[in-house]
Structure 1
Amino acid sequence: MKATWEKIEKNLGVLEVEVDAERVAKAIDKAFNKVVKKANVPGFRKGKVPRPIFESRFGVESLYQDAIDILLPEAYGEAVEQTDIFPVDRPEVDIEQFGKGQSFKFKAKITVKPEVTLGEYKGIEVPAQKAEVTEEELGAELKRLQERHAELVVIEDEPAASGDIAVIDFDGYVDGEAFEGGKAERHSLELGSNSFIPGFEDQVVGMATGDFKDVEVTFPENYQAEHLAGKPAVFKVKLHEVKRKQLPELDDEFAKDVSEFETLDEYKEDLKKQLESRKADELKGAKENAVVEKAAANAEVEIPQAMIDSEIQSMIRDFDMRLRQQGMNMDMFLSFSGQTQDDLRDQMKNDAEQRVRNNLVLEVIAKQENISVSDEDVEEELSKMAETYRRTPEEIRGILAANGSLDSLKGEISLRKTIEFLVENSKEVDAPAEAAEEKSEASAE
């Protein structure tokens, strides 16, 4: 088989392939063995029609498309490997010659992985930061834990305030007519959560137990139910009950209730260590992101749209999976958010492009620095995955092999090792005074 590759633009080229006549004949034979099983010829059972009679009745040309379907994927894969190119999209194939006794000639217009021209990637400067936990941050975490363990207490002699849980009946009308989904009884609504139509919760604030009120609102223009979008509505509301969070006291009893410690001081010390560890992980992640994005920004690469589209699809699949883990699906999310899938794709476009750019640059840096993935690296990763999923490393390897994902795992390990290389070769510098002041003010807030 002969294969030649010629670039016609930066990331676009033409692959010309010629397959010898002997392989064409074998592909036609395979096509005949497939088609003859369904051929109806008087006097013969299905699958028993002699080849000469079949060709005389239907013509050998009737086998060509099936033969091409058999031979083309094989020849294309071999040609890609032979010319050492990396397609990133489906090829546009043009059949130039195919027939009995002839070679098979075709051209494929292909978008390939782009070339990357590296810029500076060693010695990248990143702000020096320490995983220190301030008293304000420790206090905020304790406040959050208080909120989590708060009790709801019924308030009878005070009006509803922001942050309270209002137990209400509501009945909604548009143009004087009730509408589907606009009615509920004894619904618990957290005031200030912004989970209802804008303006609704604000008008419930101030109501007292037993009060009735007409709440007037306007549906947003992008509301998911198009027949209600932008229309004014009136909700007849009755407030049954007001519940307010009662925070537990921060004392030794609280520490005993929420931890294995006997005193609040012991618990605070342990909590501070947890926050320091969490902040260290966050700073490590931020440093990795900074060096990767700076290395990517310093490089030159023209990314094909096909690679961005593919990354967006991958991000949408991941997002859909997370939604399902939360008991939702994509259709429900789009309905609740008033968005379309095109809106979602537009929102993901910049992140997708950055991800593709980062990965392309990291791959080239790995090659430039001879960063390789050893069998020991793979075994270590398999052991970690086995521990996470409570399987044996052999089982994990088998699952990945069956899914064709072992090479992807090696790619992920390579990217991670390359990021570690960039971090090790980066320089920590003191943050500018203005940035340090801004960070201090943000922490105080």
Structure 2
Amino acid sequence: MKTDVEELTPTRVKLTVEVPFDELKPNLDKAYKEISQQVRIKGFRPGRVPAPLIDKYVGRGAVLQEAVNDALPELYGRAVEESEIFVLGQPDVEVTELDDGQQFAFTAEVDIRPKFEVPDYDGLEVVVDTAEVDDEKIAETIDNLRERFASLTTVDRAAQEGDFATIDLAASIDGEAVADASTTGYSYEVGSGSSVEGLDAAVTGLSAGESATFTAPLPGGERAGEDAEITVTVQSVKVKDLPEADDEFAQLASEFDTIEQLREDVRTRLGRQVKLQQLSDARDKALEALLEKVEIPLPDKVVEDEINRRNQQFEQQLAMSGTTRADYLAEEEKSEEEFTADVEKAARLAVKGGFLLDQLAVQEELGVENEELSEYVVTQAMQMGVAPQQLAEYLTENNQLPAIVAEVLRNKALNLIVEHVVIKDEAGTTIDAAALQRELNGETVEVESEADAEAEVADEAQAIADADADAEAADEADAKAAEEANAEAAKKADAEDA
């Protein structure tokens, strides 16, 4: 087999492949056998029809076409391998010659990963935020935790910002009630702006039993967007009482005996998060800095596919959050054109970054061990909340393993870059990424926010509060009910630990 490669553009080639006809013999034999199973000729059983009769009644051309279709995938694959190119996507194939018994030739146009050299990255400098956890941030986290244990107390006064009012809402358009825009017993935080437009102004100043009417567009339902006359009636007004940040609160909200112990735990958790963020930022900035040093031509089709993937993901996120595209753009103060330009820019940067990491993996002869692949699958399964074996089977059945291998290789290539760059914080202190990684006890460098640390503390606090509630319920029940409650609490604790 002879293969010629013509470069159409830096990201697209045309392969011209010539194949001696003898190489098609296995495919011709297979074609005759399959057609023999399908045709019905008197005097011959299915599968026993001789080749000359198939040529006579079906036609040699049909047999050749069947053989060519069967041979093309393998021949194309061999041509790609011999040409040492990295193809992207499916090729446009055209049979250019089919001389029975003599010669077979075809061409294949396909996008390829562009050829380039990764620039030197040894000593490349990046700057990340300083890993500081100040007292203000700790206090903010403690205050958020106090919010989880706040109680509401009814007050005999008019509602004001920050209060929680229990309200009834009734809406009508042209005197006709709108059923799906009415509700009763709705607890609303005054001033939050989380409901219908104009509600905050209407509720402020109302006491229990008082009502107010205002006009506003309905935010949802069958008549969303239409102006309606809305009547709000206040049932009660409550204020939020926060527990004092003292030892008693620490014992209520955590496993610690004193508030100082709780503060130190929060400091440790937040400290781990900001250090993880440092490593994550270092990875991102190192790749960005390296990308600025090299020009890489990008195949239009690959960029287009990445744009489509991002748009589909965005639409799914909007659907899950119940937000419309128009509302999102209004909130972000962006036009449709600006949003489209941002998506395209991000897509092009992602494709370029992928190419660079792929090329670095080739240059450094990086590979993926089975243990690394298994570790990746286990990590992804934990994040998705599924069994690793279940995820592995899904990836195998859907032919996703090559993509996973590529992802692991890219991570290894990025880690290699980080090992060679100089990382400094804003204070000018040099950060040893490897030492920092060891300090974090092998924590994966995923983007985890400070809010995650707060949520982790809050979740533990809620678990303790739930356990306390279960204990109180058990004390009030008889012996049998208490035993059942304790068993249920144990099951719940096991589930939370898992």
What TM-score range do you get, normalising by the shorter chain? Answer: 0.7 to 0.9
Are the counterparts in 2 of residues 371 and 418 from structure 1 also a CA contact under 8 Å? no
Amino acid at match of 1:72: L
Task: Quote the offset at 1:146 in angstroms.
Answer: 1.5
Distance of 1:138 and 1:99 partners within structure 2: 80
Are the counterparts in 2 of residues 38 and 46 from structure 1 also a CA contact under 8 Å? yes
Q: SS state of the match for residue 158, structure 1?
A: coil
Cα separation, partners in 2 of 1:217 and 1:99, compared to 1, 3 Å: farther
Q: SS state of the match for residue 379, structure 1?
A: helix
Q: What's the counterpart of residue 371 of structure 2?
A: 379
Cα separation, partners in 2 of 1:5 and 1:262, compared to 1, 3 Å: same
Q: SS state of the match for residue 181, structure 2?
A: strand
Distance of 2:214 and 2:99 partners within structure 1: 77
Q: How does 1:218-367 map to 2 (within 5 A)?
A: 218=217, 228=224, 231-312=226-307, 314-315=309-310, 331=319, 336-338=324-326, 348-367=343-362
1:73 aligns with 2:68: no
Q: What's the counterpart of residue 13 of structure 1?
A: 13
Are the counterparts in 1 of residues 3 and 83 from structure 2 also a CA contact under 8 Å? yes
**CA deviation map 1:180-227 (0-9, x unaligned):** 84344444445555544544555444444334333322469xx998x8
Cα separation, partners in 2 of 1:269 and 1:68, compared to 1, 3 Å: same
**CA deviation map 1:105-152 (0-9, x unaligned):** 111111111233544523222236542211111111111112233234
Q: SS state of the match for residue 409, structure 2?
A: helix
- So what's the TM-score if we normalise by structure 1? 0.77
Q: What's the counterpart of residue 57 of structure 1?
A: 57
Are the counterparts in 1 of residues 128 and 423 from structure 2 also a CA contact under 8 Å? yes
Are the counterparts in 2 of residues 88 and 306 from structure 1 also a CA contact under 8 Å? no
**CA deviation map 1:363-389 (0-9, x unaligned):** 333444x262364xx425635754885
- So what's the TM-score if we normalise by structure 2? 0.70
Task: Quote the offset at 1:34 in angstroms.
Answer: 3.0
Task: Quote the offset at 1:41 in angstroms.
Answer: 5.0
Cα separation, partners in 2 of 1:176 and 1:276, compared to 1, 3 Å: same
Distance of 1:46 and 1:202 partners within structure 2: 84
**CA deviation map 1:242-262 (0-9, x unaligned):** 454432221111111221110
Amino acid at match of 2:357: L
Are the counterparts in 2 of residues 224 and 337 from structure 1 also a CA contact under 8 Å? no
Cα separation, partners in 2 of 1:334 and 1:35, compared to 1, 3 Å: farther
Q: What's the counterpart of residue 182 of structure 1?
A: 181
Mean Cα deviation higher: 71-80 or 27-36? 27-36
Distance of 2:354 and 2:170 partners within structure 1: 52
Distance of 1:67 and 1:172 partners within structure 2: 72
Distance of 2:135 and 2:295 partners within structure 1: 45
Amino acid at match of 1:275: L
Cα separation, partners in 2 of 1:36 and 1:240, compared to 1, 3 Å: farther
Structure 2, unmatched stretches of 5+, are 329-335, 429-498
Q: SS state of the match for residue 8, structure 1?
A: strand
Q: SS state of the match for residue 413, structure 2?
A: helix
Q: SS state of the match for residue 357, structure 2?
A: helix
Cα separation, partners in 2 of 1:346 and 1:182, compared to 1, 3 Å: farther
Structure 1, unmatched stretches of 5+, are 324-329, 434-445
Are the counterparts in 2 of residues 24 and 71 from structure 1 also a CA contact under 8 Å? yes
Distance of 2:373 and 2:27 partners within structure 1: 42
Are the counterparts in 2 of residues 97 and 103 from structure 1 also a CA contact under 8 Å? yes
Are the counterparts in 1 of residues 30 and 67 from structure 2 also a CA contact under 8 Å? yes
Aligned length: 416
Mean Cα deviation higher: 185-194 or 120-129? 185-194
Q: How does 1:93-108 map to 2 (within 5 A)?
A: 93-98=93-98, 100-108=100-108
Amino acid at match of 1:101: G
Q: What's the counterpart of residue 169 of structure 1?
A: 169
